Amino acid sequence: MPFMRYGVFLFTIVAVVLHGQDHNDPPVHCVSCHNVHDARVCPHLIQCDGECFERTEDQNGTRTKSYGCVKRKDCTASASIIGRRSSLSNTTTYCKKELCNKGKYIHHFIVPPTEPCVDISVGDCRDPAALAAICSDCELAQYCRKSCGLCQEHTGTTTWSENLVLFDYYPAHNQCNYSQAIGPSICHSIKAHGRAEQHAGYLNLPTYDSLVHVHFTTNGEPLTNLQLLSCQTTGKGRVDIILNNATIAEAYNETSVWAWDWTLHELNPAQHKGTLNYTLVIVKDRKVRSYGHYWLRNIRLETTVVHHGHN
């Protein structure tokens, strides 16, 4: 049980694993930012119950990209971002997997189609008047997938990548979720302790010496993405993020102020090759004493796997 010391709780907890017959994978996250020139400047993520997208626009010779999540409400090219839509100046691609719109390799995260993308009702699909009505209805558009621009673009091979959640850990809730393809063993291994205020829905790191340690054991999977659901107060609650004594982020201050926000930290999978046991440390900025609060709700760690299909 936690106890009070200098206004801060010292706590030790072991994760309770969420699993069972009704187990669902953690919600999909997408990169979210608009009108940027480089995807690497997009550390912010959103939870998505639709599809992730990447949109490229060329306006007056300036090429920008936007990323986010969209729900299919209709199938008109002008009203929503559906499938692969392209014109002389704009291109939009969507995908349905975890963080599949991250960076410049979105096509690597699209599952290759098992059937050719063709028009079934060829006559209607060639009629411009009929095609406009068909493409505006998602059910009818399936008969003119090619002409309505619903064909997914992929690399032309049967190989594709997928980000899998090793754990999605709620330290204040004392719960842990995971991708079904990974299984619960890593969640079972988690033990956390630290100096923080333990609230009903989050941990608060209020003082300059506040910290959270999370110990876990993997099966040797390469670690590729670390996501944190957090926010800070106006006091600029900067933190250092450290994995097995290697600094991931120092004096990190890109967390939203007074608003919960998922932020992405990309990891170098080769850095800890062959490692099984890890300690993740989130600690208040060690160089500049900051009394601004840092609130932490979720820690999600991922691996990227490559699937090799068969022709």
pTM: 0.82
Q: What domains are there in the chain, each with its CATH number? A: 3-18+161-308 (2.60.120.260), 28-158 (2.10.60.10)
- Report helix, strand or coil for 51: strand
Closest CA to 293 of 196, 216, 227: 196
In the chain, the percentage of residues whose pLDDT exceeds 70 is: 82
Q: Which residues contact residue 34 at a Cβ distance below 8 angstroms, ignoring those fewer than 6 apart?
A: 66, 67, 68
pLDDT at 205: 94
Tokens of 128: 């411009």
Per the CB < 8 A criterion, the answer to whether 190 and 171 are in contact is no
Q: What pLDDT score does 174 carry?
A: 85
> What pLDDT score was predicted for residue 61?
79
pLDDT recorded at residue 240: 96
The pLDDT of residue 181 is 94
What is the residue type of 215? H
What does the alpha-carbon distance between residue 176 and residue 113 come to, in Å, rounded to a whole number? Answer: 33
CB 161 within 8 A of CB 106: no
Low-confidence ranges of the chain (pLDDT < 70): 1-9, 11, 13-15, 18-22, 72-89, 104-105, 107, 111-114, 152-157, 309-311
